[in-house]
A and B are shown apart, each in its own frame.
Chain A
């Protein structure tokens, strides 16, 4: 069964601090992995997308890593801002059969405090 597990479930940090979110997946065959930021009540917004051959992808203060061998990904947020408070969802896309649909993690709820 295709699964995506994220940790921690929730995280509280102070403004300006860094943090790292984790994502482990069992989706196979694998096509790509995306990190999304979702504000409460809004649709997810893509931060990064990584394919099998990519190890690191940056988007401003967001840096995602991917280890396709261990099926793990991380999202590192640098110099956090209050506006970073949101749910961060790891989404894995397969290439065939039942994996064709996206498999979502449950998300990490990040709260940035002043």
Chain B
């Protein structure tokens, strides 16, 4: 599938640093969700944005925050990085409630 682009593809950060991951969705995709996927595990829901407002959140601490912009792009920000934050971060967007989600290829974050 095409249309959801994530950047960067890979990233290495030091414990305690901050990171911003970006996602560019298809035009009209007003719902975007972010997921954390540890190696060998299924994706874990971080939060969801609908029309630039957060409207759902999983069991992640406040140092995980996000933004959604009018141009259908979004960001995931993680402060005070910990080693356990090392994972594949996925964003997924959809056109509306009756449509399925399209996933990006993910950003592989390594915290050392």
Distance of A37 from chain B, by nearest CB (Å): 11
Q: How large is the interface on A (under 10, 10 to 19, 20 to 34, 35 or more residues)?
A: 20 to 34
State which residues 3-44 of B face A: CB under 8 Å.
4, 6, 33, 41-44
B33 A45 Cβ-Cβ under 8 A: no
Interchain CB contact under 8 A, A106 and B42:
yes
User: CB-CB contacts of A35-70 with B at 8 A, as 1s and 0s?
Assistant: 010000111111001000000000000000000000
Sample 26 A-B pairs with CB under 8 A, ordered by A number: A32-B100, A34-B101, A36-B103, A41-B88, A42-B105, A42-B106, A43-B6, A43-B92, A43-B104, A43-B106, A44-B90, A44-B103, A46-B101, A46-B102, A49-B100, A89-B42, A93-B100, A95-B97, A101-B33, A101-B45, A101-B56, A102-B45, A104-B42, A104-B43, A104-B44, A106-B42
